[in-house]
């Protein structure tokens, strides 16, 4: 992996938790309402209008950021997203659900 790409992914992890929804995302993950998927996006595990809106907001922002990094580094967007997922999942708080690469759900 290019060192430049790794640095950008580190920045991405910081940007993923933007202040506008960081607390909500954190709470939604630790309460099991939202899970981190191995593809770099979140999903609603306990859907409600608020959770669905949060998931959509987070995924749109991640898509834009993954596309930017993809363009800057000449990497496919799905590669960037999966690399970001690895970083995000390793930094999850205890109790946060995540999807492993085999598709099963686990809790950090």
DSSP 36-94: E-TTS-EEESS--HHHHHHHHHHHHHHHHHHHHHHHHHT--HHHHHHHHHHHHHHTPPT
pTM score of the predicted model: 0.78
Contacts of 20 (CB under 8 A, 6+ apart): none
Model confidence at 3: pLDDT above 70: no
Number of separate domains in the chain? 1
Structural domain that includes position 44: 3-93
N-term to C-term CA, the chain = 26
| Residue 101 forms part of a structural domain | no
The mean pLDDT value for 8-17 works out to 58
Model confidence at 105: pLDDT above 60: yes
Give the model's confidence band at 12: pLDDT under 50 very low, under 70 low, under 90 confident, else very high. low
pLDDT for residue 18:
46
Mean pLDDT value across the chain: 86
| Residue 76 forms part of a structural domain | yes
| Residue 79 forms part of a structural domain | yes
The mean pLDDT value for 37-46 works out to 96
């Amino acid at each position: 992996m290019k060192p430049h790409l790794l640095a950008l992914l580190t920045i991405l992890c910081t940007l993923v938790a933007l202040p506008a929804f960081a607390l909500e995302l954190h709470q939604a993950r630790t309460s099991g309402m939202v899970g981190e998927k191995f593809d770099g996006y979140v999903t609603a595990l306990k859907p409600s209008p608020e959770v669905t809106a949060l998931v959509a907001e987070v995924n749109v922002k991640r898509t834009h950021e993954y596309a930017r990094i993809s363009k800057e580094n000449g990497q496919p967007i799905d590669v960037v997203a999966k690399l970001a997922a690895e970083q995000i999942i390793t930094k999850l708080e205890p109790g946060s659900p995540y999807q492993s690469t085999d598709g099963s759900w686990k809790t950090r």
